[in-house]
A = this chain, B = another copy of it.
Amino acid sequence: MSRIDGRTNEELRQIKVTNDFTIYADGSVLIEAGNTKVICTAMVEEKVPIFLRGENKGWVTAEYNMIPSSTMIRKTREMSRGKADGRNVEIQRLIGRTLRSIVDLEKLGERTLWIDCDVIQADGGTRTASITGAYIALIHALEKLKAKGLIEDMPVKTSVAAVSVGIVGGVAMLDLCYEEDSRAEVDMNIIMTGNGEIIEIQGTGEERPFTKDEFARLMELAEIGIEKLSEIQKDNV
């Protein structure tokens, strides 16, 4: 029995990466995972936040947002609500933390990499698509720095990609679309390096607790997905 969109449980949605999607950012990528579309950009600023001044280290920070028309029910802008959206805050902290963990901040030098993930269409998996796309944008931005002679070596320890997995109707599945996600009993986002090591796991029993066996099955699926995504990344950097 196949899924809503005909995929098997071990199958990613179609991933499409458009490099140089816009012209001003040092790295600019449109990543599409099925109907999910995120503009991921990396921009270099030649200074660091106050808490790092004079430490000979760089910084990587991320912001995540959704345009109002990206969701079925129009998403009110944070500025109109008058306060930050908790989910956005959580996601941008995750993206920033993830990218900092694979960048050698000493080698980066006293500069900041601003990562922006702006979702223009959301059909589940926007945070994982953001991370997967942001890695590509970050590499492009660093390559420009290297081409200009501002850094000698690429200050990146490893590649990183992210994918969602979950249990829907009792069945473990890879890369949930919105409709699957909204019915999922268990929902997990996994971030791994290209070598199959874990950078972050966030698993939630939305509807019920889950067992270690279920967890193990979800990890298996995630590894399949990450491997595929890592290959796609390699083709785009």
Contacts and interface: CB of A to CB of B under 8 A. Distances in A.
Interface string A163-191: 00000000000000000000000001000
A212 B226 CA distance: 15
A8 interface: no
B206 A24 contact: no
A76 to B, nearest CB: 9
A24 B68 CA distance: 10
Contacts of A212: 198, 219
A63 B77 contact: yes
Interface of chain A, main secondary structure: mixed
A69 interface: yes
Chain A's interface size range is 35 or more
A209 B205 contact: no
A188 B215 CA distance: 15
A83 interface: yes
Contact of A90 (B43, B90, B114): B90
A50 interface: no
B197 A211 contact: yes
A111 interface: no
Interface of A: 22-25, 28, 35, 37, 39, 41, 43, 45, 63, 65, 67-72, 74, 77-80, 82-84, 86-87, 89-90, 92-93, 97, 101, 114, 116, 118, 120-121, 158, 188, 192-193, 195, 197-212, 215, 219
